[in-house]
Structure 1
Amino acid sequence: MTNSLIFFDIPSDDPDAAGRFYAEVFGWEDDPRLGGRYHRMVPGGMFKNPDGSDSEIGNLHMGIGDVANMRPHPAPEGIEPRGPATGGRGPRIWILIGDDDTPERILGKAEELGATVLWRNHYWAEFNGLNHCFVDPWGNHIMLWGKAGKPPVIPADYTRE
């Protein structure tokens, strides 16, 4: 396969705090690198085969980079901008809610740690998902995705689109 997504980085002005945040909210391993200026978040596990068994493909990793000097970059001092994005729409990062977790727990923990919940309980028919969204303390939009099932089971209190 060509042009495969292998991982992505999100910006933070405090990678150590962001690493702790994502470890507590999602239960991921926080792997600090470069003296804490970069953190690799390791969700663990493997992508599943259609029969539910583990495939040989590990789940994608996420990086957290220090906005003061996102690495790698050819110039040791990095380049502008050196602050988190604010005031506009940035990328949205989609997280599939594990079968052993709930959106209520994730959103509650995220809020407790300084996130802002944008919405809860919305069904998107286009991709048959139950979704929720929060903005982390660094301005990154995190979309939670729950499986609605076949046929979809949509709770009565969910908005629909």
Structure 2
Amino acid sequence: MTNTLIFVDFATDDPAKAGEFYAEVFGWENDARPHGIYHRMVPGGFFQNKDGTDSQIGNLHLGVFDANNARPHPSPEGVEPRTLSAEGRKARIWVLVSDDDSHERILETAEKLGGKVLWRDHYWAEFNGYNHAFADPWGNEIILWGKAGENPEIPASYTRE
């Protein structure tokens, strides 16, 4: 059996606000554990089987932690660095847009709450998906993924690769 990825988390200087941001942008449960220190974002549901039914595998969770004192850590005071990374590339979070939502609504909500739209309307043929991206108020890059389906009709305005 291989090692199992259970969730990914990233830094913020305000975990409570980040939890509220992701709850409103994506509709995820904001599970504060404890409030203001670490927030586990729970998308709910299960990965789907090819026939569209739920599998036994629950969706991954996303955590947000306080950069000033990243928990867990053996020292109650934590360690350096205690600031958000502002330069260069960081991890990117990929989110599959559900069939009952839209990238337009997500980008609009993220922008309204202090996020920044990075780009939109791109088709990636290798994985047959429509992509759009924004940075959250803490600089984390979120890439939205929309399934293009069989024999997709790519809008002329979309960039492609």
> TM-score, normalised on structure 2?
0.97
Alignment coverage as a number of residue pairs: 161
Matched AA of 1:86 = A
Deviation at residue 35 of structure 1 after TM alignment: 3.4
1:41-60 paired onto structure 2 within 5 Å = 41-60=41-60
SS at match of 1:36: coil
Find out whether 1:138 has 2:143 as its counterpart. no
How far apart in 1 are the matches of 2:35 and 2:45? 26
Aligned-partner Cα distance in 2 for 1:89–1:2: 28
Q: CA–CA distance in 2 between the matches of 1:125 and 1:13? A: 37
Identity fraction in percent: 67
Give the corresponding residue for 2:21: 21
| Letter in structure 2 aligned against 1:7 | F
- Post-superposition offset of 1:152: 2.2
**Is residue 149 of structure 1 aligned with residue 149 of structure 2?**
yes
Contact 2:16 2:35 in 1 (8 A): no
Q: Deviations over 1:93-139 (max 9, x none)?
A: 00000011100000000000000101000011111110001010001
Task: List alignment gaps of at least 5 residues for structure 2.
Answer: none
Sort the Cα spacing of 1:153 and 1:4 in 2 relative to 1 into closer, same or farther, 3 A: farther
Q: Map residues 27-38 of structure 1 onto 2, 5 A cutoff.
A: 27-38=27-38
- Partner AA of 2:31 in structure 1: D
Normalised to the residue count of structure 1, the TM-score between the two structures is: 0.97
Structure 1 partner of 2:7: 7
Alignment of 1:54-133 (within 5 A): 54-133=54-133
Give the superposition deviation at 1:57.
Answer: 1.0
Structure 1 counterpart of 2:39 = 39
**SS of 1:35 mapped into structure 2:** coil
CA–CA separation in structure 2 for the residues paired with 1:151 and 1:6 = 33
Opposite residue 67 of structure 1, the aligned amino acid is A
Secondary structure at 1:72 match in 2 = coil
CA distance in 2, matches of 1:142, 1:24: 15
Partners of 1:145 and 1:46 in 2: how far apart?
Answer: 17
Post-superposition shift, 1:36?
Answer: 2.0
